[in-house]
Chains A and B, each alone.
Chain A
Amino acid sequence: MRYVAGDYDVIVVGAGHAGCEAALASARLGCKTLVLTINLDAVAYMPCNPSVGGPAKGIVVREIDALGGEMGKNADCTHIQMRMLNTGKGPAVRALRAQADKVLYGRRMKQVLESTPNLTLRQGLVEEILVRGGRVAGVRTQTGAEYRARAVVLTTGTYLRGRIIIGDVSYPGGPAGQMPALKLSENLADLGFELVRFKTGTPPRVNRRSIDFEKLIVQPGDDEWLHFSHEDQLPRRPQVPCWLTYTNERTHAIIYENLHRAPMFSGEIKGRGPRYCPSIEDKVVRFRDRPGHQVFLEPEGLFTDEWYVQGMSTSLPEDVQVEMLHTIPGLERAEIMRPGYAIEYDALVPTQLRPTLETKEIPGLFTAGQINGTSGYEEAAGQGIVAGINAALQVLEREPLVLSRADGYIGVMIDDLVTKGTNEPYRLLTSRAEHRLILRNDNADLRLMELGYRIGLVPERRYERLCRKKEQIERELDRLSTTRIKARDVEFLLRERGTAPVQDGVRLDQLLRRPEINYGDIERIAPPPEKLDPEAAEQVEIQIKYAGYIEKEQENIERMRRLEERVIPEGFDYREIPGLSSEGREKLMQIRPRSVGQAARISGVSPADISILLVYLEHRRRAANE
């Protein structure tokens, strides 16, 4: 029996990492927001690894925070280990990674949702998107409840027509024992969306008390107090170690003997899996020569004995999982608490989206997270905040938010998805970013917080701190580039560091450019009138040391930006342009890029096509003026 159950500005379907960010952004912008989830006990649930961050991903978390999102704070408040990775490889690739307490993580996020004004959290399985006059109008749940809304954000994760596979056993299901969403998938197909089938997987969890820690190598967290969020009042958390062990030839032999029972090889699985996180059986087969593979043992939380066996993602039958784990040092007596499994699910072909994450076909309908073909909590959350902001901005009749590839990893990801699509679950890697030197962990606030403030998600207090930081940086950069120091005042330092002496004197910024010298040295030999905050000092050092590279990158960005600014009118008919190559025309008609910049990144669209497009757009503009 259908009934009208409520009227909202924005409805978010799903309360995973994408859904939470989308809902919070929308509600915080003042939109009356409803979140519907299959299971209220699985808010911000982590069905796979208990960690947040890592290369590229950690920077996404910082970007979400700079825009006014929740993931960073949530990880800061609930982690049980924090590490800065890549410390020796340069500031551009440094990244934070947290081991999260799964239970605490979900619980805190749920509390935040519950305590946010304008936000309603409700359990319900959405089966149908309501469309009226070509626009989204709301959703209908399994129980017949119809919710009206002006915008809907779908964040369905791996639930869409989800199917679990463990060896020769398979059944419809969502992740970690949840229900799947079967009807919604059909509904999306009926609405005209093109769907693809992807696959991902997770390793078994073992009981802590069955692990022999004596045989493992300890992996402690950092002693330094690290956090994702730019927020200043965060609690310090206890640090719990992870542990390392390796598979060996016996493990691999067992896998080989049972390959015929592995669904990946028997053809049972049809979905495309991600190359960057292959199952153990896949790794063993593809890299036959490797005598052993790393296995990290990670606690899933402080109040549980479940441990995550990173590196052993598998869809082999349960009995094989037991047998192979027992060949691994430290896991000889390991008891599996949950077996590993593979999951197949439906996703949208993401080229059906605009860079705002709104679907092109149905105005008002937004999507974020795994439904867009990505993988990873951070990727999902990054899209979630953008989709949530844009859904709200649309309701509020404000200009949409489009992040460019130079703004952040979130921009890189969304642009990749909507411009090129993906044929496997998409994961962010730093190598996907052409402006990697600019998209750093340390400057996420400088890149995005002002934007977050203007949108209305960053509170005044944080924004003021940002302005102070900027000012400190500017002032110090200015001082260093105008202050000279006498040779005799640096002589000792230079000798101590084994770097070449100077003749008369040297400008402070030139001195700092030397690899052997750091900002601490400058601060000591030529202190600024007012000591800088550590974060500002870090910026000064990076901006000076990498000035040459950063400037070059900025020039490239500037050039790209001009093309990004040339917006292609909505509903533009490429058939009317003479001279486009037929492949270029076809791709342009399919992707319908928002700007000439985006058009230029579509594969199959040649530079000549872009020139012609520019000439044609100019022609149109002038003709309209005349």
Chain B
Amino acid sequence: MEWDTIAAVATAPGEAGIGIVRISGDAAVEVGDRVFRGKRRLGESESHRMVYGRIVDPESGETVDEGLAVVMKGPRSYTGEDVVEIHGHGGPLVVRRVLEAVLRAGARLAEPGEFTKRAFLRGKMDLSQAEAVIDLIRAKSDLARRVALEQVQGRLSERIRKLRERLVDVLAHIEVTIDYPEHDVEAVTASHVRRAADEVVPEMDRLLRDAHSGRIIREGLETVIVGKPNVGKSSLLNALARADRAIVTDIPGTTRDVLQEFIQVRGIPLNVLDTAGIRETGDVVEQLGVQKSRERMKQADLVLLVLDASRPLEPTDVELMEELRSSPSPVLAVLNKVDLPVRVDRKAVEQYLGKDRIVEMVASQGKGVEELEDRIARMVFGGEVAGRDPAYLSNIRHIELVRKAREHLVSAARAAEEGFTLDVVAVDVRSAWEALGEIIGETASEQLLDQIFSRFCLGK
């Protein structure tokens, strides 16, 4: 067959309900079988028949989601190749984890428009559709490139550049040793490679861990809702999302972890996180939740502090306000439950957070949402809330590239220690360096030569 196996999320991002990951190519069924655990293997199941099963991470074996899978044998498929679709029922976060599992199982992330391209090249589409296919490829790749570039600006690209810098040190050294054997530079040894790996791999791990904690799944200003238990944080999230995603009860401490919702406010994408209520507690699980809430708060692009207007301020409220006053994140205070008699000391809140920082609401009835949205929009357009420079990986292609780079580097260090010769060690170091380069759009191999000649004095 002509092409390798590719995968991508087939459903539009943010779409509710199911998320579909599509795999296409020679090894689609094999890859599917590595992540999907049904009654029998996909390789043995009937074409075009849905089967039920678990979706697992091929490395850890951990269950990622449950759902359906279907094999569509080529040429009776969209692309004309063997296709496997995995229908998970999770939100965007889970779909993404399914896709990552599929990639780890050996598929390559599809280029923008690649499924359609294949469908066309395999004769699954009419000749008259060629232009439409071209338009699609153009539009999708332009968007993807813009988004990808935006995602690695600033500190993140700086971090990646530093890693590359360290790798090119070793690489240029290796290349000089090979291409100028009589030149008096210190010979590269296994320990040079090991040392570079020891420095670079942990930093790659940090990048991957940050990406995996799901801190930001997609673009969007990170908006964190904080407050004491039972002041109506989940109601606020629901009011904003206009959906019953978070569990709303009267029992304090229901939201123990972080819930999130992607919403658009006046066209501004927000990634709203509902946190566990902050209070003194003996419950260990809840303590963890509280701790997480505080962490979120510090990293947020915008904090929504929810206060119960029907009750006087408590020490926890004051503590929170003090914390927020000294934090760099812009804050809005939501005085909730204003339909009840107001007992809260509004002056005190103004003193801590500023006069124009208060929005009155009845979150459970959706009252005041418009006002809140207005306020958020004004803060964003006024430049007060700006997406902070994201120093973490958010693009799945980038995550894959870091993972790939890491694999190569580890394998280079291992090869060097096992006594493999420089020629093969170089292959992996170079692959690692190139993979990182792809993230920040530096792919010219001419760069390596520039490095070699600027670092080493070579001549004939």
Interface residues of A (CB under 8 A from B): 48-49, 55-56, 85-86, 88-93, 275-280, 283, 286-287, 290, 293-294, 296, 310-311, 313, 420, 429-432, 434, 436-437, 515-516, 546, 549, 553, 559, 562, 577-579, 603, 606-608, 611-612, 614-616, 618-619, 622-623, 626
Contact = CB atoms under 8 A, between A and B. Distances in A.
A618 to B, nearest CB: 5
A345 to B, nearest CB: 18
Q: Is the interface of B mostly helix, strand, loop or mixed?
A: helix
Nearest to B171: A431
Given A294-B184, A608-B141, A615-B117, 8 more contacts: A55-B178, A55-B180, A88-B421, A93-B423, A275-B453, A431-B448, A549-B424, A616-B130
Interface stretch (B41-49, B86-94, B106-114, B287-295): B106-114
Contacts of B133: 615
A430 B421 contact: no
Given A431-B175, A608-B137, A86 B181 contact: yes
A109 B73 CA distance: 62
A559 B177 CA distance: 30
A327 B140 CA distance: 65
B424 A611 contact: no
The 5 closest A-B pairs by CB, nearest first: A90-B421, A90-B423, A608-B141, A92-B423, A619-B130
Interface in B146-197: 175, 177-184
B419 interface: yes
A415 to B, nearest CB: 12
A559 B26 CA distance: 13
A89 B458 CA distance: 19
A280 B457 CA distance: 10
A89 B175 contact: no
Given A431-B448, A436-B423, A437-B423, A277 B175 contact: no
B134 A612 contact: yes
Contact of B422 (A49, A90, A626): A90
Given A276-B458, A619-B127, A622-B127, A91 B423 contact: yes
A614 B460 contact: no
A493 B131 CA distance: 66
B283 interface: no
B59 interface: no
Contacts of B131: 578-579
Contact of A578 (B120, B134, B457): B134
Nearest to A617: B121
B4 interface: yes
Contact of B138 (A55, A313, A608): A608
A461 to B, nearest CB: 33
B459 A313 contact: yes
26 contacts: A48-B460, A89-B177, A89-B178, A91-B421, A91-B423, A92-B423, A92-B424, A93-B423, A275-B449, A275-B453, A276-B459, A276-B460, A277-B458, A277-B459, A311-B460, A431-B175, A436-B426, A577-B134, A578-B131, A579-B137, A603-B444, A607-B111, A611-B114, A612-B137, A615-B120, A615-B121
Nearest to A284: B457
Contact of B181 (A85, A420, A431): A85
B459 A293 contact: yes
A286 B457 contact: yes
Contact of A549 (B427, B444, B453): B427
Nearest to B175: A431
B409 to A, nearest CB: 15
A86 B423 CA distance: 10
B319 interface: no
Given A86-B181, A283-B457, A559 B4 contact: yes
A431 B452 contact: yes
B178 A93 contact: yes
A431 B422 contact: no
Contacts of B326: none
A310 B445 CA distance: 29
Contacts of A611: 111, 113-114, 117, 137, 141
Interface in B406-450: 418-424, 426-427, 444-446, 448-449
